[in-house]
Amino acid sequence: MEAAKTLGVDISSICGGKGTCGKCKVRIQKGEEGLNPLTDKEQKFLSEEELNANVRLACRAQLTVPAIIFVPERSRVGKQRLQTEGLEVPVTPNPLVRKHHLILPKPNLQDVRSDEDRLLDALREKHDLAGLEIDYEAAKTLPIDLRKKNWDVTAIIWKNKIISIEPGDTTDRCFGFAVDIGSTKLAGFLMDLNTGNVVSVTAKMNPQIPLGEDILTRITYAMMQGPKGQDDLQKKVVSGINEMIDECCKKADVKTEEIYELNFVGNTAMQMLFLKLWPQHTAFSPYPPVIRRGIDVDVTKLGLLSHPRANAHCVPVIGGFVGADSVADLMAVDMLESEEIVMDIDIGTNTEIALGNKDLTMIVSCASGPAFEGMEIKHGMRAATGAIEKIGIDIDSLEINYRTIDDASPVGICGSGLVDVLAEMLKAGFMDTKGKINNDLTDQTDRLRKTHEGWYEFIIASKGETATGDDITITQADIRELQKAKAAIRTGAEILLRRMNLTKDDITTLYVAGAFGNYIDPESARTIGMYPEVPIERIKFVGNTAGTGSRMCLISKDMREYAEEISARVHYYELASDVDFQNEYVQAMFLPHRDLSKQPILTEILRRLGRIK
């Protein structure tokens, strides 16, 4: 894996090289004798046939001698969707950083004011700014900076502090950097703070992944390793952020020193790891966050690439499992100002659901797991080239149509395809409402067969048409994982509705957020009962709003205040403490839901197709 990285060959890995996903299979063509012996983890993932063909997991096999290695199609990454797009919300720029151009009177025997007074007086007289003070670090070189261009200067002020003096008029160059710290992906936006416009954008995989595939394993890493582990995690994410800053600046011909403020949005755990807050107690029930409010930190303390006296702001969180990303969601859809009842579902490994309006908003967190991201699914993969993203089954002929990303030969199935396949199998009768594959149909179709594990699987693309040379299937075990994920989400939505004495009909808009949310078919998701049955036209996809919220809070202090208000006003509700949780969860396991009265539209459709009585 390391060698491939050095050579620029991208090998697929979901687990980040921990030997737990089995996606990085490579064939050793020459030099197999120089490799370490087969590990236990590899034995788990490799078939007899693969073992004989010298297939290894790239993350486990260690090279000691030169070797020739073949990376099969299925193990190649391909072009991955950045999934940084999110709802655009127009915000008038009102940043905390301001630049003011001044021409100061030179000191003489009649005017012996200090350099500091001279500057402060001019700022008061010309720009009506009072109560300012100068940063100690900026004061150190103040006399030099003032005199460099003969007292023609630009003062850079953050809140009420003069953080730097630049020679000449640089007011048109004032930049900020907004970051969305996702547990899988980082997204960075270089912003012009004068106009509020995006200057350049980039995204990259979170370099923390090798230390833990999800937030919980990363927290565990920190707990086990102590401060050194925290340090590792913090340095990794900062290195990723710095690479993005560097890249964005180069693209736009901006110097990193021209970035005076940075804004960060991530879930509570990601922000804790970024700020090196001790994460253990937040990971234990009842999951209290360390700090809830937004926080400002000197960039030097975090090691960020920017102006040395830039400020790094982390947006407030709501709870241990409801982070700044949720605050960003609610800000983007403006929930606290809404007259009407709206629901916002941010789908991810952890799914947050908010319900309410300007009078009352409640939010829950559901452990939905990574199944919709392709984890723990036999042929699951992320949304990249060759992923089956759309599937349809003809009800009469039972023929299957699918579409892949970039129209490449199919490699696996990504989240939106998984949602489709469940919905289509249900409608076509390949699966019942309990999620059981209908094995009575084995004599009518050659798409169903029994696996060696003892359960059934459904063939979506047969080996002749795939890039991997293997059938692409969905197994009964996969369906069970997906059911758990969708039931977790639906349970959160149902319990919220019940606790707020509302019904699905009260929801005027259902916002679906999250990177994956943008690509799912709203109808398919509704068919499997991922969310309450609302008319399709009420469903709106808002994409990755964490990036949106981060940009909004960067360019406007009003938005930063709004974020504080959201954090303070939204009520967190703990699902685990709800007496109905287990009962609701089990009902939500059914596709779409056990309680038919909750879904008149779907009941009608499924009844017509003969899927329910």
Partner 1 sequence: MSESRKESIFKRLAEAVVIGDTKMAEEAAREALAEGIQPYEAVINGLAEGMKVVSDKYETKEYFLPDMLLSSDAMYAGLNILTPHIPKSETEAKGKIILGVVEGDVHDIGKNIVKVMLTAAGYSVVDLGRDVPTSEFIEKAKNEGAQVIAMSTLMTPTLMSMKTVEDKLKEEGLKDKVKTVIGGGAVNEDWRAKIGSDAYGKDASEAVDKVKMLIDTILSAVEVMKKEKKKE
- Rounded distance between C-alpha atoms, residue 473 and residue 98, angstroms: 57
Contact predicate 470/460, CB 8 Å: no
Pairing of strands 161-167, 152-158: antiparallel
Name the one residue in this structure whose structure tokens are 């709004």: 562
Both tokens assigned to 315: 């947006």
- Rounded distance between C-alpha atoms, residue 525 and residue 599, angstroms: 13
Nearer CB in complex with partner 1: 444/582: 582
Bridge partner list, 180 = 187, 265
Phi, psi of 494 (to 5 degrees): -65, -40
Neighbours of 75 (CB within 10 A): 23
Nearer CB in complex with partner 1: 115/578: 578
What is the nearest approach in angstroms of partner 1 to the Cβ of residue 340? 33
Nearer CB in complex with partner 1: 367/502: 367
What is the nearest approach in angstroms of partner 1 to the Cβ of residue 283? 4
What is the nearest approach in angstroms of partner 1 to the Cβ of residue 440? 12
Nearer CB in complex with partner 1: 246/574: 574
Sign of the alpha-carbon dihedral angle for 363, 364, 368, 369:
positive
Amino acid at 348: G
What is the nearest approach in angstroms of partner 1 to the Cβ of residue 20? 9
Nearer CB in complex with partner 1: 414/431: 431
Within 8 A by CB and 6+ apart from 65, the residues are 31, 33, 34
Nearer CB in complex with partner 1: 121/453: 453
∠ Cα 392 466 391 (to 5°): 10
Name the one residue in this structure whose structure tokens are 């490699």: 411
Nearer CB in complex with partner 1: 188/370: 370
Question: From the CA atom positions of the chain, what is the Rg in Å?
Answer: 27
Q: Using omega within 30 degrees of 0 as the cis cutoff, is the peptide bond preceding 592 cis? A: yes
What is the nearest approach in angstroms of partner 1 to the Cβ of residue 396? 28
Nearer CB in complex with partner 1: 218/313: 218
What is the nearest approach in angstroms of partner 1 to the Cβ of residue 589? 5
- Rounded distance between C-alpha atoms, residue 222 and residue 268, angstroms: 15
What is the nearest approach in angstroms of partner 1 to the Cβ of residue 582? 6
Neighbours of 568 (CB within 10 A): 11
Neighbours of 158 (CB within 10 A): 20
What is the nearest approach in angstroms of partner 1 to the Cβ of residue 376? 10
Nearer CB in complex with partner 1: 263/483: 483
Phi, psi of 227 (to 5 degrees): -55, -35
Note the residues at the interface with partner 1 (CB under 8 A).
214, 216-217, 219-220, 223-224, 280, 283-285, 367, 434-436, 453-455, 475-477, 479-480, 483, 576-577, 582, 585-587, 589-590, 594
Nearer CB in complex with partner 1: 235/480: 480
Bridge partner list, 156 = 99, 164
Distance of CA 254 to the CA centre of its chain: 27
What is the nearest approach in angstroms of partner 1 to the Cβ of residue 268? 13
Phi, psi of 578 (to 5 degrees): -80, 130
What is the nearest approach in angstroms of partner 1 to the Cβ of residue 203? 26
Q: Strands, DSSP E only, in 117-184?
A: 133-134, 152-158, 161-167, 175-181
Pairing of strands 97-103, 152-158: antiparallel
What is the nearest approach in angstroms of partner 1 to the Cβ of residue 399? 26
Contact predicate 89/145, CB 8 Å: no
Nearer CB in complex with partner 1: 92/577: 577
What is the nearest approach in angstroms of partner 1 to the Cβ of residue 352? 17
Phi, psi of 201 (to 5 degrees): -135, 145
Nearer CB in complex with partner 1: 499/538: 499
For residue 355, give the 3-state DSSP assignment.
strand
Amino acid at 237: V
- CA-CA distances (angstroms) from residue 231 to 265, 274, 311? 20, 9, 20
What is the nearest approach in angstroms of partner 1 to the Cβ of residue 476? 4
Neighbours of 388 (CB within 10 A): 25
Nearer CB in complex with partner 1: 16/78: 16
